């Protein structure tokens, strides 16, 4: 079947083997990203958002982090011809994966300083990326890098090019990281909480920059966040994760106006200022995410769910279709 997915993740299972036991970080997730669009991934801390991104980049900490099962199909366009690559079949340190990582798929990490090396200037770090992934010479590369720094809204881009990371504010560093991520014109951007560390005004500016660049470069983006407000502003389609599983998938409008999974409902009620719930009071979801070593039978949300039924405790629900392009993993919607 001919599709225009740039990325298709199928039945992905990832586990961490730790001294205290096995953490089943991803327990079978499926989603796809349409070319040129932004897919939102949302869920509470520990549900597996970052592990999803690091698996796609083949950057899981080895040997403790292991892809147990599933495929990550990246559909790259090579001279106008589509070529599908299963990332899970590539050696993490091999030349094919290195050429995809950074060149075709770029990632903005949750911790800004993980992306920057404190001992090199911003300019030399962008130039290094360009040297590895493009055929630009040093004069051309310098010009391109300074232009990218200007495009992400950094005043005095030449000064920033020559600065060390520690001399920049958090917002400026994040802009420099975005410039670096975009400098190779990647097909897919994985943005993992790109604004969490920043104040609200800077957050809004950074999100605007990402949106306008992704539009200009016709790039596809996976935007990871725990903030439904960001999802509402930035994305059309969204997947909601809970304990290593996707529990709901929908267009943003449907998710906000007609959530079908009790967990999504809880998330929406818990966040002030999103959509039609602006005037409602905060209702944090009762209970907390169970310890990651817990063995899960039945529905993972059962201990916190206000609608829990007998069946929920013993049998895990599949994803049921609940509308057009809308599905929810909950027994309230099927049997
Ligand atoms: N290196 C690791 N070793 C062991 N367990 C890990 C490791 N990295 C992640 N995990 C576990 O995998 C699960 C998913 O973690 P992940 O970092 O993907 O969560 P997240 O959704 O990104 O959370 P947050 O919103 O806090 O960033 C968690 O239970 C976490 O403890
Ligand atoms: S399957 Fe049962 S416990 Fe799980 S979310 Fe639905 S009603 Fe709640
Ligand atoms: Mg994370």
pLDDT digits (tens, 9 = 90+) for 39-90: 999 999 999 999 999 999 999 999 999 999 999 999 987 777 778 999 999 9
In the reported structure, the alpha carbon of residue 26 is separated from the centroid of ligand 2 by a whole-number distance in angstroms of 19
Question: How far lies 222's CA from each of 23, 261, 334, in Å?
Answer: 24, 22, 29
For residue 51, which ligand has an atom nearest its CA? Answer: 1
Give me the residue spans of the domains in the chain: 5-104+186-333, 112-185
Which ligand 2 atom sits closest to the C-alpha of 305? 8
Is pLDDT at 260 greater than 90 in this prediction?
yes
Instruction: For residue 218, report the phi and psi dihedrals to the nearest 5 degrees.
Output: 50, 45
pLDDT confidence tier of residue 277, bands split at 50, 70 and 90: very low
Burial of 93 (0-12, 13-18, 19+ CB in 10 A): exposed
Rounded Cα distance between 247 and 267, Å, is: 12
pLDDT, tens only, 167-219: 999 889 989 999 998 888 899 999 999 887 778 888 888 888 889 888 888 89
Which ligand 2 atom sits closest to the C-alpha of 311? 2
User: DSSP character for 100?
Assistant: H
CATH of domain 5-104+186-333: 3.40.50.300
When mean pLDDT is compared across 56-65, 114-123, 282-291, the lowest value belongs to 282-291
Looking at the chain, the whole-number percentage of residues with pLDDT higher than 90 is 63
Is pLDDT at 289 greater than 90 in this prediction?
no
In the reported structure, the alpha carbon of residue 332 is separated from the centroid of ligand 1 by a whole-number distance in angstroms of 29
User: Is the C-beta atom of 51 inside 6 A of ligand 1?
Assistant: yes
Looking at the chain, the whole-number percentage of residues with pLDDT higher than 70 is 95
Which ligand 2 atom sits closest to the C-alpha of 247? 5
pLDDT confidence tier of residue 278, bands split at 50, 70 and 90: very low
Q: Which residue has the tokens 């000064």?
A: 159
Query: How confident is the model at residue 281, as a pLDDT?
Result: 56
User: Is the C-beta atom of 305 inside 6 A of ligand 2?
Assistant: yes
CB 109 within 8 A of CB 148: no
For residue 264, which ligand has an atom nearest its CA? Answer: 2
In the reported structure, the alpha carbon of residue 26 is separated from the centroid of ligand 3 by a whole-number distance in angstroms of 13
For residue 335, which ligand has an atom nearest its CA? Answer: 2
Query: How confident is the model at residue 83, as a pLDDT?
Result: 86
Which ligand 1 atom sits closest to the C-alpha of 61? 1
Question: In this structure, what token pair is assigned to residue 275?
Answer: 């959509």
Question: In this structure, what token pair is assigned to residue 233?
Answer: 């502003």
For ligand 2, mutation pick of 301, 310, 313 (most atoms within 8 Å of CB)? 301
User: Is the C-beta atom of 301 inside 6 A of ligand 2?
Assistant: yes
In the reported structure, the alpha carbon of residue 263 is separated from the centroid of ligand 2 by a whole-number distance in angstroms of 9
pLDDT, tens only, 205-253: 888 888 988 888 889 999 999 888 889 989 999 999 999 999 999 999 9
Question: In this structure, what token pair is assigned to residue 163?
Answer: 């600065």
User: Is the C-beta atom of 289 inside 6 A of ligand 1?
Assistant: no
User: DSSP character for 74?
Assistant: E
């Amino acid at each position: 079947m001919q599709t225009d997915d740039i990325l298709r993740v199928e039945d992905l299972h990832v586990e961490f083997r730790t001294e205290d036991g096995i953490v089943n970080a991803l327990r079978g997730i499926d989603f796809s990203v349409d070319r040129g669009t932004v897919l939102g991934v949302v869920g509470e801390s520990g549900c597996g958002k970052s592990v999803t991104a690091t698996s796609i980049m083949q950057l899981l900490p080895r040997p403790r982090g292991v892809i147990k099962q599933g495929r990550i199909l990246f559909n790259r366009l090579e001279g106008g011809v589509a070529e599908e690559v299963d990332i899970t079949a590539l050696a993490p340190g091999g030349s094919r994966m290195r050429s995809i990582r950074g060149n075709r798929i770029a990632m903005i990490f949750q911790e800004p300083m993980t992306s920057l090396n404190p001992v090199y200037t911003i300019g030399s770090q962008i130039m290094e990326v360009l040297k590895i992934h493009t055929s630009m010479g040093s004069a051309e590369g310098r010009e391109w890098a300074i232009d990218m720094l200007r495009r992400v809204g950094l005043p005095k881009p030449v000064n920033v090019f020559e600065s060390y990371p520690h001399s920049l504010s958090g917002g400026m560093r994040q802009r420099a990281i975005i410039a670096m991520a975009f400098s190779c014109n990647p097909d897919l951007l994985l943005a993992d909480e790109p604004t969490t560390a920043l104040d609200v005004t800077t957050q809004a500016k950074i999100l605007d920059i990402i949106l306008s660049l992704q539009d200009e470069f016709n790039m596809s983006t996976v935007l990871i966040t725990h903030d439904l407000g960001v999802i509402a502003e930035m994305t059309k389609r969204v997947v909601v994760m809970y304990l290593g599983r996707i529990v709901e998938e929908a267009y943003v409008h449907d998710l906000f106006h007609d959530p079908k999974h009790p967990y999504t409902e809880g998330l929406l009620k818990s966040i002030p200022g999103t959509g039609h719930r602006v005037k409602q009071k905060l209702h944090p979801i009762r209970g907390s995410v169970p310890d990651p070593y817990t063995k899960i039978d039945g529905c993972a949300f059962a201990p916190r769910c206000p609608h829990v039924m007998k069946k929920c405790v013993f049998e895990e629900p599949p994803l049921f279709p609940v509308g057009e392009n809308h599905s929810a993993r909950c027994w309230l919607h099927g049997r």
